[in-house]
Amino acid sequence: MAEVVRMPKMSDTMTEGVIAKWHKKVGDKVNSGDLVAEVETDKATMDFESFQEGTILYIGAEEGQAVPVDSVIAVLGEEGEDYKSVLNGAETPSAEKKEDTSGNEAKSEKPQAAAEDKPAASSVTPESLGATVIRMPLLSDTMTEGVIAEWHKKVGDKVKSDDTLADVETDKATMEVTAYAEGTLLYIGVEKGQAAKVNDIIAIVGKEGTDVSALLNAPSADSNKTEGKASDETSAAPQTAQKTDATPGDEQKEKAQSDSDSRVKASPLAKKIAKDKGINLSDVQGSAEGGRIVKKDVEGFTPSTKQVAEAAPKAAQPSAASQSVTIPQYIGEEKYTEKPVTQMRKTIAKRLSDSLFTAPHFYVTMSIDMDNAITARSKMNEFAPVKISFNDMVLKAVAVALKQHPNVNSSWLNDKIRYNEHVNIGVAVAVDEGLLVPVVRFADGKSLSHISAEVKDFAQRAKTKKLQPSDWEGSTFTISNLGMFGVDEFTAIINPPDSCILAVGGIQQVPVVKNGAVVPGNIMKVTLSCDHRTVDGATGAAFLQTLKALLEEPVRLLV
C-alpha cells in the first residue's frame, strides 16, 4: 500500500524546508535508511533518510522549492500502484480543518469522526503487532535525557536479546543499551548525536516486515501542548530582547530592510545568514527555481563598490579642525562558536545552581603549615607500594576529622537532618567535558596506600568514560583540589546532598614566624564551604582545627 512522505520538522524553530537536492527520482527503488533528499532548514542543510521501503511514485516538491513542515513531499509504494487516492487522502485533513469554521453542523460532525477513529488507534499495541518498543532507559539517578553516541545496529538488522543496540551518553558517562528482545530492528527514532528524554521511544524490534507506523502516529495531547507552549515562549523571548536593545533609528532601519527582505523569495537559512552578515536580500541574485535565493547565493554574494561606499559612515570623514590627527583604522570581524550543551554540562549547571541558590553557603578559611607533611610524605614514599600525594593525605585527614565532627558529615532532608555514621568522600576529577565526583567509600578505615591507588584508578576511568553510576553515588563529603594548577585559595559550591565541601589550594613557600624568627615556610590554605542549615560557623571552624592538627602532625593519621 502506498505511503506518503512528509516534510519532517528537523529543528525546534523550523516551519518550512527547502528541497536543496533530490537523491532519488520517480521510479527509483528506496530502502529503509536510504538518503532521499537534502533539506535546507533555517539552521543547516540536513540529510533526509527514508524509514519506508518501496518505489517513488510521486515527488511533490521540486529542487529549490519551499515546503511547510508536515506537507507531502513524496509518495512511496509498489511499482505501478495508483497513488492518487492516497495523495488526496493526505491532503483532505487540512481542507476539512479550514471548512470547520463554516457552521455548528461541521463542528459536531468532526468530533464524531475523531471519536470513531480513536478506538481503532488506541487498540493497536506492541503486543498485538508482535513488536517490542525500546525506550530511553534511566541510566543514573540524575539522568533526564540521553544522547545517542553510536548505533551498533541499523534498520533491517537481526537483533538478539543480549546484543548491544547503541551507546548512550548520559550526564555522567557513555553507557551501552542492550536489546531485551529478539527479531528485526524495524525502526530507529533517534539519530546519532540527537537527545531523547528518558522513556522516549528510540527503537522498535519485531518480525520482519511489520508495519509499526500505527505505534508511532499516536502522540499524546499533553506533549503537543507542552511543545507548542515552549515553542511560543522560546520564540517570544528573542523578539522581546531585540525590541528592548534597539534604538528608534535602528528599529526603522531594520523594519525597512525586513519589509524589503520579506518581499524577496528566499529560503529561511538564506534569510538568517543575510541578516547575520547585514546583507540586503534585494541586492542578491537567486539561483533556485523562480529566482528564489538559497544559502549558496548569500554566501557567494560580494557587494559592489557603490554599496560599500554607501554603507561607510559619514562620521568617518575628518572635520577641518581635526585633519591634522590621523587615527589608524582597523577593521575586525566578530566571530564566535556555539556548541550544543553536553549532558554532563547540563547536569553540572542544574545541580550546582540548585545548590548555590537553595543552600545558604558560608565559608571558613584556614592556613596549614605543611613542613612536617612534606617530610612525612617523602619518607612514606620510600616504602609505599604506590606514590602517595598530598591530596591523598588531605583525604585521609578529612576522613579522620569527620569521625570526630559528625555534624559536618550530614545531609539536609527538608524536615530532618541525616547524620551519616559512615565516611564516603567524593573527589572532584576534571575531565574534558566537565567534572565528575567518584566516591572513596569508608575512607576512614583505609590506609594511605589504599586511598592513593583507588583515587588514581578513579581518575583514569573518569578520563576514559568508564565510571559506572555506583562509582559517583553516595558521597557524604566532597574535596576539590586545584593546588596542582598553582591556585592559592578558592571557594567551592557544595555538592548536594552533602553539607560541606573542602576547597584545597596549593602549597606556597612564604616567610613565616617560628619561635620569634622569620623563616621560610610551606603553607597550604583550605576553605570549607558549609550549608548553614546543618552546620554553624563554630562547627565548621572546629572541624578545620582538627584537620589542621592532623596535617601538621601526620603521624596521627597512622594511629
The x, y and z cell numbers of residue 308, run together, are 560599500
Q: How many helices (H) does the chain have, and how many strands (E)?
A: 15, 26
User: How far is 472 from 139, CA to CA, in rounded Å?
Assistant: 13
The 10 Å Cβ neighbour count of residue 140 is 19
Provide the grid cell at 433: 567535558
- Judge whether 170 and 343 are in contact, CB under 8 Å: yes
501, 529 in Cβ contact below 8 A?
yes
Measured CA to CA, the distance from residue 110 to residue 506 in angstroms comes to 73
Scan for cell 607500594, then name that residue: 385
Are 37 and 24 in contact, with CB atoms under 8 Å apart?
yes
Candidates 23, 152, 422, 532; catalytic one: 532
Tell me, yes or no, if 392 is annotated catalytic: no
* Cell (9 digits) for 467: 565510571
DSSP reduced 3-state for 540: helix
Backbone angles phi, psi at 268, to 5 degrees: -60, -40
For residue 183, give Cα distances in angstroms to 128, 152, 313.
15, 15, 68
* Angstrom distances, CA of residue 190 to CA of 10, 87, 395: 12, 27, 43
HSE value, Cβ hemisphere, 13 Å, CA-based, for 17: 28
**Cβ–Cβ under 8 Å, residues 361 and 494:** yes
Give the contacts of 388 (CB within 8 A, at least 6 positions apart): 377, 380, 381, 448, 449, 452
| List 47, 70, 82, 536, catalytic entry | 536
Q: Report the first-to-last Cα separation within the chain, whole angstroms.
A: 80
Q: How far apart are CA 296 and CA 267, in angstroms?
A: 11
For 107, residues 6+ apart whose C-beta sits below 8 A from its C-beta are 100
Residue 521 makes CB contacts below 8 A (sequence gap 6+) with: 369, 371, 509, 510, 511, 512, 514
Q: Is 250 a catalytic residue?
A: no
Q: Spell 245-274 as b/e; 16+ CB within 10 A means b.
A: eeeeeeeeeeeebeeebeebbbbbbbbbbb
Active centre residues (catalytic)? 532, 536
